A and B are shown apart, each in its own frame.
Chain A
Amino acid sequence: MNIVVLYGTESGNSELIAQDLSDKINADGQSAEVFDLQDFEPESITPESFYIVVCSTHGDGELPNTAQDFFEKFSTFEGDLTGVRYAMFGLGDSFYEETYSQGSEHIDRRFTELGAERVGEYGRHDASSWDLPSDVALEWLPAVVAAADA
């Protein structure tokens, strides 16, 4: 199955994770490609691909810069995403309790509203931990890929 890794980023960390996830998937013999959400259209989402969305949180629980235009389009997008499966990996800082990791959840909610199905655990990286973001994401990845193949 083709895996599309999408990222929304403000300072580049999500991009790095997305690239690492894609490299790992390709190294493991499956195919993955990476897109910045700002270069991606909701119309391109099809049940033939599996989507991994990596997205940070900015400001007061808002979407990061490169995800904002996409989200506007996604919000008014009227397609039916039934049969589409995806996984989410959100970044945030639990120090800001009220808004922790909320950026990715805007996208997650819209996927669900349109009929898509989230599989696997909702991945998170907490900047208040000392874990390296890519390490956490790569640990999270195998179960998600397994769920995607199931």
Chain B
Amino acid sequence: MNAQTPRRIAVVGSGPGGCFTAQALRRHWKDTEITIFDRLAAPYGLIRYGVAADHQHTKAVTRQFDRNFGSDDFRFAGNVEVGSDISLAELKGVFDIVVLATGRWRDRALTVPGSHLDGVLVSGDIVNALNTVPRPNLPMPAIGERVVVVGAGNVALDIVRFLIKTASDYVDSDVSPEALGTYLERPAREITVLSRSPIASAKADVAMVRELGKIPGVAFSVANSSSAAEDNTLGLKREAAFADLTAIEPDEARAQVRFVFGATPSRIVGTDHVESVHLAEAPAGVTGSIRADTVISAIGFDVNAPGHWHYAEEYDFAPSDGPGRLECGLYRAGWLKRGPVGAIPANRADAHQVAKEIIADVESGRCPVEDDPGGFEALPESVRAQAVSFADWQQIDAAEVANAEPARTRTKFRTHAEMLEAVEDLRTNGSTAPQTAPTHSMVKGQS
């Protein structure tokens, strides 16, 4: 191995950004040790915890990474948080290259007057509950019968789908039975979706719009502020997809979904709890005030969530289309680099870019690597001992699958501590039997 090949690479964050970057680096450097750290005991970040629970197929992308970990191409070091368990400086000391891929996890919140009222939620709280995000598990927030969804991108449509689906729509998913059951005890009946943009420039994928139309028992209406230009093929397609929704005539509607495009909330009104949402703008025929007991915003992620960069406050993490290099030997990838936009595939393309950049930096001599810094084995004994390996994770995984409630692919452990206990039990007893049975109730569905 010559000086132009790094021996030890650390990736911080095992979500799609981190795993795709590691994959691309592995393709080029076959013998380099690659360690992927995660603060959680479970790998895959947003794929496991952020993808809509009814879009189970999207999660199949982890099979690629399972194989990489399974073939020792990468080492998983879960339950190690950079910034508290180990500093970034220590990590940089024992790895030739450190790639930060910790994502952007906090929702952007509404800032209009009344945003503090009870009943105002961010979409992430719902997605987290449905995906059983641990540390600790967050309960499903209370959702009323009259809901205003702010935003009309794919995450907003994920929320609308969740609001109008029934228990049977989650068969063979890994949705939290507890969280889903809580909502389905008293689901929403009137849903208003507010989009700042007209349909033509709204962000939702056409396929996502069409998907709404496949859910039986729901009536849709659409108010649009301006039409797509004749040469806007995508905009016209999206308008047609929304028009198709309004053509659906259910015999008996369980829920009514009203899309209002070109509308922005000006304030949320209520004493302690949401009572109505007032609009600053609205297309013709739409009243300026909407009765509501719940407001759910799905307006993107906060790029500067406080506390997020505690491990590296000295660096600028503003979204960038430029290089992933923060300095020689230190890079960023995925949402941490380009901002919280685009789905998993977009992260793959970006990860390949960053990997190319890293390879070029090392091989051109711009950022030469020094003598072997030691890598994972050179970390303090305490850190290595607490690290959850991929084999440990596979045991957690098997326990979750074994614990699956009927019609579920798995029932996730609800807290990080439970996952660690399972690892501990398995290490102590060498048993593969699940040690912690889920105690929560079954889904109380309607159908």
Contact = CB atoms under 8 A, between A and B. Distances in A.
Contacts of B57: 93, 127-128
B348 interface: yes
Given A12-B61, A16-B67, A96-B207, A58 B345 contact: yes
A127 B237 CA distance: 24
A2 B344 CA distance: 34
Interface string B17-59: 0001001000000000000000000000000000000000100
Given A13-B61, A96-B210, A65 B205 contact: no
Contacts, number: 46
Contacts of B349: 65
Interface SS of chain A: helix, strand, loop or mixed? Answer: loop
B440 interface: no
B51 to A, nearest CB: 12
B206 interface: yes
B172 A10 contact: no
A60 B60 contact: no
B72 interface: no
Interface string A109-150: 000000000000000000110101100000000000000000
Contact of B345 (A60, A65, A95, A132): A65
A64 B348 CA distance: 12
B63 interface: yes
Nearest to A128: B57
A104 B247 CA distance: 31
Interface SS of chain B: helix, strand, loop or mixed? Answer: helix
Given A11-B61, A65-B345, A95 B211 contact: yes
Interface string A3-19: 00000011111001000
Contacts of A130: 172
A16 B20 CA distance: 13
B64 interface: yes
Contacts of B205: 59-60
Contacts of A93: 57
B247 to A, nearest CB: 15
Interface string B327-351: 0000000000000000011001100
Contacts of A99: 207
Nearest to B214: A95
A93 B23 CA distance: 25
Interface in B232-276: 237
Given A10-B345, A130-B172, A16 B207 contact: no
Interface string B56-77: 0100110110010000000000
A125 to B, nearest CB: 10
Interface in B67-115: 67
Identify the interface centre among A9, A10, A11, A93: most chain B CB within 10 Å of its CB.
A11
A9 B349 CA distance: 10
Contacts of B23: 12
A11 B348 contact: yes
A134 to B, nearest CB: 8
B165 to A, nearest CB: 14
A98 B61 CA distance: 23
Given A11-B345, A95-B211, 11 more contacts: A11-B61, A12-B20, A12-B64, A13-B64, A60-B205, A65-B348, A65-B349, A98-B210, A99-B207, A130-B172, A133-B63
20 contacts: A10-B348, A11-B61, A11-B344, A11-B345, A12-B23, A13-B61, A16-B63, A59-B206, A60-B207, A65-B345, A65-B348, A65-B349, A93-B57, A96-B207, A96-B210, A98-B210, A99-B207, A127-B57, A128-B57, A132-B63
